[in-house]
Homo-oligomer: A and B are copies of this chain.
């Protein structure tokens, strides 16, 4: 049978379901939240507008919204956080994407350390934080424009670095393409990349690695 196909829910088990809200009709979204709500699980909604949140709130009272990361959260369980993930940004404009990563990681049970505005234009700011960053099991490095930060960090630590390019920038940035290519071509070791602006993916993967570090493969 397909029993093993269900294993992929293991990480989430007891932690809640995920809904990608962007572009879903209100009618549709409500139906999804309602059906999850009935199961009394925790729910994480990503890329939600304020209007979508208000529609959800009307039927799921516990729902909360974070404008910066555009995340809807329904948390009823008592989430126990383990290990440590460092979430770093190149500039303050990258914070929304970083918060999507950080809050996703926290939702799935990781401790998160936030370190903002340490881009290479003023690299000394980064160095003063390296000791702290080195304490994390995995680093999520978020950067727009030329997207250099993840590669520089990966050259300074020996933990996995998850690079998140953002669409912050203009002109030949081409909506994040520049940062994406920078990260894919990084010659530092121990770096991999997720989609442009995909904080969720980085927070989820970061949690998977953080767990392996804390609990091993069990």
Contacts and interface: CB of A to CB of B under 8 A. Distances in A.
Contact of A119 (B92, B127, B156, B187): B187
B194 A192 contact: yes
A90 B109 CA distance: 29
A75 interface: no
Contacts of A16: none
A105 interface: no
Contact of A171 (B11, B122, B176, B217): B176
A4 B156 contact: yes
Contacts of A189: 8, 11, 18, 121, 201, 204-205
A151 B194 contact: no
Contacts of A167: 171
Number of copies: 8
A171 B155 contact: no
Contact of A195 (B154, B177, B185): B185
A122 to B, nearest CB: 6
Given A152-B152, A172-B176, A120 B188 contact: yes
A56 to B, nearest CB: 16
Contact of A2 (B127, B160, B197, B201): B127
A104 to B, nearest CB: 10
A116 to B, nearest CB: 11
A121 B205 contact: no
A192 B192 contact: yes
A162 B196 CA distance: 17
A26 interface: no
A179 interface: yes
Interface of A: 2, 4-11, 18, 20, 22-24, 28, 32, 47, 83, 90-93, 119-124, 127-128, 130-131, 134, 137-138, 145-148, 151-152, 154-160, 162, 165, 167-198, 201-202, 204-205, 208-209, 212-214, 216-217
